[in-house]
């Protein structure tokens, strides 16, 4: 797997939640901040305004996608001047927390223009959020510009078709399409940062061949007895220049990131598998179960077995 796919697979927990909502103007819907999640809004029909406490109002049109990687609170409305017409939505709102978008929820208003939005959230592991995701802006707007993001547009169209006309298999199709949507949103954002010429951070790292080669090596085989010299060889650089370059872009030394990734992978295996501790220790590079348990406890504050039971 490549680094971005790995990050999404490890950080995501549970299933995404979404709802297909039809609003009739006038309307104004507040969405509460939801820590430990990443939210999204996809305008399928009509137009609306996105209102955020820390940004100017943004007008959205059909096909526009808004990604909120840190679950920030925000508001959608037919007009910035429209007063609140419904209670704020949150994770306990049953109409907006289904496991997939099938039933169309009709919300407030009269007989004014109709806006249809696919809204929802991805649940994240708030304790082990990958540093790549921490670099994202609070709000990412991806407008539906003709020909700019064909893959994203195709995913939106497929989601709209499944949401508007549920059929056999919709329960499996929508979560899979939402995963594709998440990857496309992240890919577009990182490509945009690269085009702006950003020279530090994860956006630059994923476009830097030597650092990317080292990251792929770590993600491909975290159990390997990596040293800085071996990772530098993967990157095609000498040891000292590689270590400086990696730390500048990633924000921590190569072996620091290696340990972080090993512990993150171990936590995922403990949560999602019944593999014995000896096997998990070997998969993340520890020949001794005792050494693995000590390293895990230093990171998570509890022994691997206790962590597994509590998860």
Q: Tokens standing for 212?
A: 């990317």
**Which of 165, 195, 225 is the C-terminal boundary of a domain?**
195
Q: What is the mean pLDDT of residues 160-188?
A: 86
The pLDDT tens digits for 230-265 are 999 999 999 999 999 999 999 999 999 999 999 999
Length reported for the chain: 311
Same domain, 150 and 222: no
177 and 34 share a domain? yes
Domain edge (last residue) among 138, 170, 195: 195
The band of 109, judged by pLDDT with boundaries at 50, 70 and 90, is: low
Task: Supply the CATH number for residue 49's domain.
Answer: 2.60.120.280
Q: What is the mean pLDDT of residues 141-152?
A: 83
| Residue listed under structure tokens 């577009």 | 188
Residue 124 lies in a domain: yes
* pLDDT score recorded for residue 199: 63
Q: Give yes or no: residues 297 and 159 share one domain.
A: no
Banded pLDDT at 98 (limits 50, 70, 90): very low
Look at the block and give the residue holding tokens 């949103």. 185
Residue 202 within a domain? no
Single out the residue of 176, 183, 185 nearest to residue 16, CA to CA. Answer: 176
Q: Of 134, 160, 195, at which residue does a domain stop?
A: 195
Both 98 and 164 in a single domain?
yes
pTM exceeding the 0.85 threshold for the entire prediction:
no
Number of independent structural domains in the chain: 2
Do 104 and 154 share a structural domain? yes
One domain for residues 89 and 11: yes
Q: Tell me if 203 is assigned to some domain.
A: no
pLDDT in tens, 4-40: 888 777 777 666 778 888 898 999 999 988 877 888 9
- Going by pLDDT thresholds of 50, 70 and 90, the confidence category of residue 107 is low
Structural domain boundaries enclosing 224: 208-310
Per residue in 272-296, pLDDT (tens digit) is 899 999 999 999 999 999 999 999 9
């Amino acid at each position: 797997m490549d680094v971005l796919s790995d990050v999404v697979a490890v950080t995501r927990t549970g299933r995404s939640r979404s709802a297909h909502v039809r609003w009739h103007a006038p309307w104004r819907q507040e969405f509460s901040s939801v820590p430990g999640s990443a939210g999204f809004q996809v305008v399928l029909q009509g137009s609306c305004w996105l209102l955020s406490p820390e940004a100017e109002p943004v007008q959205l049109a059909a096909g526009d996608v808004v990604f909120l990687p840190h679950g920030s609170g925000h508001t959608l409305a037919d007009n910035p001047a429209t007063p609140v017409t419904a209670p704020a939505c949150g994770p306990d709102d049953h109409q907006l927390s289904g496991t997939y978008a099938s039933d169309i929820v009709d919300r407030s208003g009269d007989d004014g223009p109709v806006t249809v939005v696919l809204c929802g959230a991805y649940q994240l592991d708030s304790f082990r959020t990958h540093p790549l995701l921490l670099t994202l802006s609070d709000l990412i707007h991806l407008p539906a510009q003709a020909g700019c993001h064909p893959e994203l547009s195709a995913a939106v169209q497929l989601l709209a078709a499944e949401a508007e006309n549920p059929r056999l298999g919709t329960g499996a199709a929508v979560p899979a399409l939402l995963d594709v949507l998440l990857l496309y949103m992240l890919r577009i954002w990182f490509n945009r940062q690269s085009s702006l010429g950003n020279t530090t951070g994860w956006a630059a790292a994923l476009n830097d061949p030597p650092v990317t080669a080292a990251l792929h090596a770590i993600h491909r085989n975290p159990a390997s007895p990596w040293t800085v010299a071996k990772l530098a060889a993967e990157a095609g650089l000498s040891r000292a220049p590689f270590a400086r370059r990696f730390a500048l872009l990633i924000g921590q030394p190569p072996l620091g990131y290696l340990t972080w990734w090993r512990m993150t992978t171990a936590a995922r295996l403990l949560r999602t598998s019944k593999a014995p501790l000896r096997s998990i220790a070997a998969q993340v590079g520890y020949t001794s179960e005792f050494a693995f348990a000590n390293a895990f406890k230093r990171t998570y504050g509890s022994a691997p077995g206790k962590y597994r039971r509590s998860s």
